[in-house]
Amino acid sequence: MGLKEFQENILPIKNRLFRFALRIVSEPVEAEDVVQEVLVKVWKNREKLDEVTNVEAWCLRVTKNLCIDKLRSKHKRVVSFSSESPETLRISDKGANPYQIASMKDTFQYIQDLMNRLPEKQKAVMQLRDIEQLTYKEIAEALDITLNQVKINLFRARKEVKDQLVRLKFVEK
Residue ranges of domains in the chain: 3-74, 98-167
pLDDT of residue 149: 94
User: Which residues in the chain come in under a pLDDT of 70?
Assistant: 74-96, 169-173
CATH architecture of 98-167: Orthogonal Bundle (1.10)
pLDDT of residue 2: 79
Specify the pTM. 0.57
pLDDT of residue 32: 92
Question: Do 18 and 12 touch, CB atoms closer than 8 A?
Answer: no
pLDDT of residue 155: 94
SS3 23: helix
pLDDT of residue 3: 81
pLDDT of residue 75: 41
CATH 1.10.1740.10 for the 3-74 domain, yes or no: yes
44 burial (CB, 10 Å; 0-12 / 13-18 / 19+) is exposed
